[in-house]
A = this chain, B = another copy of it.
Amino acid sequence: MHKPATVPPTGSVGTVETRFLDLPEPVPLECGRELSGVRVAYETYGSLSPARDNVILICHALSGDAHAAGISAAATTTAGTRDGFAAEDRDGSAGASLGWWDGMIGPGKAFDTERYFIISTNLLGGCRGTTGPRSTNPGTGLPYGPDFPVITVADMVRTQRRFLDRLGIERLAAVAGGSLGGMQALEWAVLFPDQVDAIVVIASTHALHPQGVAWNAIAREAIMGDPAWQGGRYHGTGRTPDAGMGVARMVGHVTYLSGPALEAKFARRLQASEQIRHTLTEPEFAVESYLNHQAASFVKRFDANTYLYMSRALTYFDLARQHGDGSLKHALEGVLARTLLIAFSSDWLYPPSASDEIADALRSLGKPVDYHLIEAPYGHDSFLLEEARQIPIVRQFLEDGIQTTMRTATP
């Protein structure tokens, strides 16, 4: 799969392609329904060891996809898949084809492709190759749209489990992700405790706080309130709820960043002149233009219904409610994986307090947990921007695991 890149960036996995795998059996879902004909889009980086014991599953966040590392062989179809500041501001035009976590995955990086076989899938419900609301409903021959079942993080994880079964991979050396991706890592450790050696949970939570639930509800309301959404049956009508999606994306962006980060980047700078122009409808402040730009580029690449389903899944996620009768400690009782938690001081959407709670619950159960709170100003987006500071933490954590395994294997 790894074609050599023409000019490979330092530490890059090179040029990559997204591949697809069809699950032969229906996937049962938490809502009671099941999905037939599920296709999973995925990429892999590095080589599978003969013992098949070096697999790390990478899980993406709300608007990500399977293209986590390297340069896409089909760059035009994966343009701008990175979230937040990272996509447009840091990578510039090069970012258009670069995987969303390329800084973390590759030779010598946090998830070292010289040692690990990295697998990244597009989530169930996604719009980048894995079966989702835009896919054809085999029962009708039309896109699912709002008839797609309401899925949960557990459904995403069970789909990943079945996908890995098809690849002949039983155990995972680690599951890793940020935000919604971190929720999947936690869910893996709870659902399949004896199949995951370690989880890497970055800028995530065991349950979104009510303000986060509110932001997500507002984003969904913006989309569903757009008449072009048409009850979710917009496919084939020539109209898409771009206005609502744009507002949803703007809300997302502001919550992904910290107030001080916006202050540092934009302050109250005007966009076009030194003086206000007394305009009601045109962007006037630089921060307004920035949000407009983010909205316009997002609606071109992302499916509104997928946004709704992902947003709903991450608000539903609640380890204590799902698995612990309301107790987080109880929910985590069966976890066997070593846990790495990374939180960022300025992340107010997935605040450090949530990681504190996970760490406390695991420690009170006597389970191994490694928790790093990184002082960083960029809010939730820090998980994509502060890669340099995460790399040694993740490398050390994974290295410790190998040491532990070796000690266990050769007493």
Contacts and interface: CB of A to CB of B under 8 A. Distances in A.
A357 to B, nearest CB: 13
Contact of A224 (B220, B251, B281, B348): B281
A268 B214 contact: no
A221 B247 contact: yes
A279 interface: yes
Nearest to A281: B224
Among the interface residues A152, A243, A268, which one has the most CB atoms of the partner chain B within 10 A? A268
A316 B276 contact: yes
A247 B263 contact: no
A243 B225 contact: yes
A300 B358 CA distance: 43
Interface in A269-317: 276, 278-281, 283-285, 287-288, 291-292, 295, 308-309, 312, 315-316
Among the interface residues A280, A292, A312, which one has the most CB atoms of the partner chain B within 10 A? A280
Interface stretch (A100-108, A205-213, A367-375): A205-213
A287 B214 contact: yes
Interface of A is mostly: helix
Contact of A225 (B210, B215, B244): B244
Interface in A234-289: 243-244, 246-247, 250-251, 254, 259, 262-263, 265-268, 276, 278-281, 283-285, 287-288
Contact of A221 (B225, B250, B263): B250
Interface residues of A, number: 59
Contacts of A150: 278-280
Contacts of A387: none
A318 interface: yes
A288 B207 contact: no
A30 B277 CA distance: 10
Interface string A211-231: 101110110111011110000
A42 B93 CA distance: 56
Contacts of A11: none
Given A217-B250, A218-B250, A280-B308, A243 B226 contact: yes
A315 B214 contact: no
A267 B210 contact: yes
Given A243-B226, A250-B221, A268-B318, A287 B213 contact: yes
A2 interface: no
A269 to B, nearest CB: 8
A210 B263 contact: yes
A210 B146 contact: no
A279 B31 CA distance: 9
B251 A211 contact: no
Given A213-B288, A214-B291, A291-B214, A246 B221 contact: yes
Contacts of A209: 259, 262-263, 268
A254 B287 contact: no
A225 B246 contact: yes
Given A210-B267, A251-B218, A267-B210, A259 B225 contact: no
Nearest to A221: B247
A321 interface: yes
Nearest to A146: B280
A149 interface: yes
A152 B220 CA distance: 32
Contacts of A276: 316
B224 A222 contact: no
Given A218-B250, A221-B246, A226-B225, A211 B312 contact: no
A214 B250 contact: yes
